[in-house]
Structure 1
C-alpha cells in the first residue's frame, strides 16, 4: 500500500496528517498528488466522498511551502473556487488542518458574511483563498483583493459550478489571473460543458479518473419507493423510525418545501433542522454544527447542501423530492458512505417524477432497485402535473393518495388499482406542440410563481 510519505510530501504536511484519519492515500489522491507536485495542470474525475480536497490540497500546499516570503498586501498565491458556502467551509477547514504548524495563511470569502470584515482580513494577503465566485467578484471590483500574483487556480465541483450558472463569473475572474499558472479542475460528473471549460482554462492537462463519471460510491445501497406526493411525509417517518439514532439527510426541491417538512418532522418528535438558500450564513453554520455534533439527527436541505456536507456519521440519504438535474442525484447520495464507510439512499418517486427517475437511471447506466410500490402506469404519469403545479389542491403531508396509487409502504410489486378518473383540467403553458397533457393531481405541490427563480 502506498503511503503519503512515499508520494514525496513535505515532512510538515506529513506531521499534520498524523493527527487526521487519513492514513493512506485514496486512489484519486495517489494518482493526482505526484502530477500536481510536478506542476502539471490536471482534470480529476472521482465520486463524491473519495478525498478530492486532499488530492489537490496536499500537493498545492507542498508547493507553496517553498515560498517563505509573505504574499503582499491584498495579494493571494492560490485561489480555490467552490460553488457553495458549505463546500467552501469544508475546504477551508481541511486546509487549516493541513497547514497547522506551517507559515501558510488560509482565508475564505463567501456570500452571507460581512464584506467589510472580509476586506479587512485580506489586507495582509493570503497564501490560499477559498471563495465562492459571486463574493470574489464583489471584492475584486472594490479593489480589496488582487489576483495578479495568483499562480494556482482550483475549480472544485466544477460541474455544479456550471449547473449554478457560474460560467460567466468564472470568465470574469480568470481575466484577472496570469496565464502562467497551474490550473486544477475536479468534478464528480463529466457533462459536455466540463470538457469545454477544461479546453479553455487547462494547458495539456493530465486526466485522472478513478471511476466512471456519474457513478456513486459502491458502498451505497440504493433504492426507489414509488409513492404519491401526499404520502411522502408518513413514509419518511416510517423509514426514520427504522433507524433510531442514525443520522439522515433529506433532500427537498424547494426552500418552502424544506421548511414545511422540517416543521412536520419536528411536530412528530424528531430532532431536525433545515438549511437552504434563504437561511443566513450564521443559521446554516449553526444548524450544520448541531448536525455534526449529534444534536440533530435529521437534516432537511435543498441541493445547496449536496456538495458541502462531509459528515462521516450520515448513514441515510432520502430524496424526498427527486432532483430535476440527474447529476445531482450522485452528489446527493454521495453525502453518505464517506471515506469508505457504508450507507443507504432511498428516493421517493411520485407519478410526476418518473421522468426524473428515468434521467437518473440514464446517468447511472442501470435501474435503481425498487424497494416499495411499483413503477407508475403511463396513464397515471400523463394525468399528473409536474412538480410545482396544482398548488393548494392537495392534502397535507400524510393525507390522501393519488387515485389507484399503492399505500405507503406497499410491498414491492404492488400495482396501481385503477386509472385516475376524469380528464386533465388544464394544459401546461409554454409546452411545445405534442407535449403530454397534464392536469391536477391529489397530493401535488402548488405551482411556482413565474419568472426567474433564485438558486437554493
Structure 2
C-alpha cells in the first residue's frame, strides 16, 4: 500500500515524499482510514512504529479545507496531549514537516520553559496545539487557550500519562473540549487504567493493535551478565572498554543513578550525557542534540525521560538496572535495530533482579543468552544485599544521666 491509497491530498503527499517516507507503516495503514472517517480509535502500538504520522497526517487532511483563517484569527481545531516535553517537541516537528505545503499552523507548549513566548504565539492563533497536560491547563486558566472549537483530541502515550499521575488533568482537558469531538488514544500497552479511561471518554472506538507487546526484534542480539550489585559500574566500564561500541543508550531506574553513572563515565574519559526529569528542558534538549549529532556517543536516561524519543542508528542498549516491568525491557531494547538494522542489548543483573529476568523471558518467549566469561561474576548462591541504614543518634547509653541530674534538684526555671 502507498500513501496515495490512503486518500491523502497532494500537498500532504508531497511533504511526506520530501521527508523520505515511501510507504505507510502497519499502524498508519490501519489507523489513517478510521481517523479520516471521524471515528474514535484506541491504538496499541510501540514506539518506533510510526504512530505520530498515524494521527498527524489524517488530522492535517481533515483540517486542510478549513485552513483559511477567519477574520477573527485561527481557532484551535486539534489538540495533542503528550506526557513529556521531549515527546511534545518531537510531535510538533512532525506536524511542521507534514504541513510544509499547507497553511495550517501548529505550536507546542510545555512546562519548564518561559511562558510569555508561548502566550504570544497562541494569541496569534493556531490550528493545532501540542501540549503537556500541566502547561495546557495553566494557560487555559489564564484564558489564553480556548478549547471550544476542538474537533480532534489526541492522547499520546496514554499509559505513561497515567503512570505519571496525569489522569485527572487528562479528564479535565477532555471535559474542556466540545462533547461532539473525535478522540484518538494511543498507548504502548493497554493496562486496566487505560482501558477504564478509554471507556469513559471514547465513543464506540475502533481498536487497532500492532504487534504484541512481547514482540522483540529478531535483529537485536540480547546478552545477559550476572554481576554483584557493587561491581556493576566496574563491569559497565569493562564492557565499554572491550565490547560495547558505537552510539549507546544506557538505562537506569532512578535520576540519582543516572547522575552517578554519568559522573563516573565522564571521569573515565567517555563522551557521556544524560536526560531525566530533574534536568531543565534546555539541558535535556542539548543532551539529545549532542547525541543525535554524535558529539556524545553515550546517553544515560531514565525510562520516563526517554519514552517516545525517536533516535535512529543506536548500536547498543544497556540495561544497567533491569526494569521490574517486563514491557519496559521490550521498549528499551526496541530502540536499537530499527529499520532492518541489527543491534545489541546488554543487561546487567544483580541477585535481587533475578526475578525480573524470569518475567522478561516469559513475556518475550525466549531465553536470553548468559555471558559467564567476565571479570565480575556473581556467585550462583549469592543472596541479594539488603542495605541497612546506619543507626543514628546519641552514642551514649540510653538512660545515662549525670550524677548531678540524678539528685532531684529544684530548678530555677
Same fold, TM-score > 0.5, yes or no = yes
CA distance in 1: counterparts of 2:348 and 2:317, whole angstroms = 11
CA distance in 2: counterparts of 1:245 and 1:100, whole angstroms = 38
Q: What is the TM-score when the length of structure 1 is the normalising length?
A: 0.80
Give CA-to-partner distance per residue, 1:302-359, whole Å, 9 cap, x none: 1233313211111211111122443322222222233443322222111122233334
CA distance in 2: counterparts of 1:238 and 1:417, whole angstroms = 21
Q: Which residue of 1 aligns with 2:386?
A: 439
The answer as to whether partners of 1:274 and 1:287 remain within 8 angstroms in 2 is yes
Q: 1:59 to 1:418 in 2, by over 3 A?
A: closer
CA distance in 2: counterparts of 1:248 and 1:128, whole angstroms = 34
Q: Which residue of 2 aligns with 1:203?
A: 203
Q: Which residue of 1 aligns with 2:34?
A: 35
1:180 positional shift: 0.8
Give CA-to-partner distance per residue, 1:395-447, whole Å, 9 cap, x none: xxxxxxxxxxx96465xxxx726556xxx9xxxxxxxxxxxxx7339xxxx89
Does the residue aligned with 2:38 lie in a helix, a strand or coil? coil
1:70 positional shift: 2.4
Q: 1:242 to 1:46 in 2, by over 3 A?
A: farther
The answer as to whether partners of 1:74 and 1:146 remain within 8 angstroms in 2 is no
CA distance in 2: counterparts of 1:11 and 1:135, whole angstroms = 35
The answer as to whether partners of 1:235 and 1:408 remain within 8 angstroms in 2 is yes
1:210 positional shift: 2.0
1:177 positional shift: 0.6
Report which of the two structures shows the higher radius of gyration computed on alpha carbons. 2
1:122 positional shift: 0.6
Mean CA deviation greater in 353-362 or 91-100: 353-362
Give CA-to-partner distance per residue, 1:159-203, whole Å, 9 cap, x none: 111111111111111110111111111122121222112211211
Does the residue aligned with 2:193 lie in a helix, a strand or coil? helix
Query: Structure 2: any 5+ residue segments left out of the alignment?
Result: 391-413
Matched, 1:121 2:68: no
Q: 1:224 to 1:21 in 2, by over 3 A?
A: farther
Q: Which residue of 2 aligns with 1:287?
A: 287
CA distance in 2: counterparts of 1:194 and 1:216, whole angstroms = 23
CA distance in 2: counterparts of 1:158 and 1:199, whole angstroms = 13
The answer as to whether partners of 2:251 and 2:318 remain within 8 angstroms in 1 is yes
CA distance in 1: counterparts of 2:136 and 2:69, whole angstroms = 21
Q: Which residue of 1 aligns with 2:405?
A: none
Does the residue aligned with 1:184 lie in a helix, a strand or coil? strand
1:245 positional shift: 5.5
Give CA-to-partner distance per residue, 1:243-272, whole Å, 9 cap, x none: 676101011111121111111111222111
Matched, 1:172 2:203: no
Query: Structure 1: any 5+ residue segments left out of the alignment?
Result: 374-405, 425-437, 448-456
The answer as to whether partners of 1:216 and 1:330 remain within 8 angstroms in 2 is yes
Q: Which residue of 2 aligns with 1:17?
A: 16
Q: Which residue of 2 aligns with 1:50?
A: 49
The answer as to whether partners of 1:81 and 1:155 remain within 8 angstroms in 2 is yes
The answer as to whether partners of 1:49 and 1:339 remain within 8 angstroms in 2 is no
Q: 1:368 to 1:194 in 2, by over 3 A?
A: farther
CA distance in 2: counterparts of 1:409 and 1:12, whole angstroms = 58
Mean CA deviation greater in 148-157 or 230-239: 230-239
Q: 1:418 to 1:195 in 2, by over 3 A?
A: closer
Does the residue aligned with 1:138 lie in a helix, a strand or coil? helix
CA distance in 2: counterparts of 1:339 and 1:89, whole angstroms = 23
1:365 positional shift: 4.8
Q: Which residue of 2 aligns with 1:190?
A: 190
Q: Please, what is the CA RMSD of the aligned residues?
A: 2.3
Q: Which residue of 1 aligns with 2:334?
A: 334
The answer as to whether partners of 2:275 and 2:306 remain within 8 angstroms in 1 is no
Equivalent pairs, count: 389
CA distance in 2: counterparts of 1:243 and 1:226, whole angstroms = 16
CA distance in 2: counterparts of 1:95 and 1:239, whole angstroms = 40
The answer as to whether partners of 2:245 and 2:315 remain within 8 angstroms in 1 is no
The answer as to whether partners of 1:50 and 1:338 remain within 8 angstroms in 2 is no
1:367 positional shift: 4.5
The answer as to whether partners of 2:213 and 2:327 remain within 8 angstroms in 1 is no
Q: Which residue of 2 aligns with 1:238?
A: 238
Give CA-to-partner distance per residue, 1:58-90, whole Å, 9 cap, x none: 111111112123275584111111111111111
Q: 1:353 to 1:200 in 2, by over 3 A?
A: same
Q: Which residue of 2 aligns with 1:83?
A: 83
The answer as to whether partners of 1:275 and 1:300 remain within 8 angstroms in 2 is yes
The answer as to whether partners of 1:74 and 1:122 remain within 8 angstroms in 2 is no
Give CA-to-partner distance per residue, 1:357-394, whole Å, 9 cap, x none: 334344x2525503324xxxxxxxxxxxxxxxxxxxxx
Q: Which residue of 2 aligns with 1:146?
A: 146
Q: What is the TM-score when the length of structure 2 is the normalising length?
A: 0.88
Q: 1:417 to 1:360 in 2, by over 3 A?
A: closer
Q: Which residue of 1 aligns with 2:250?
A: 250
The answer as to whether partners of 2:28 and 2:51 remain within 8 angstroms in 1 is yes
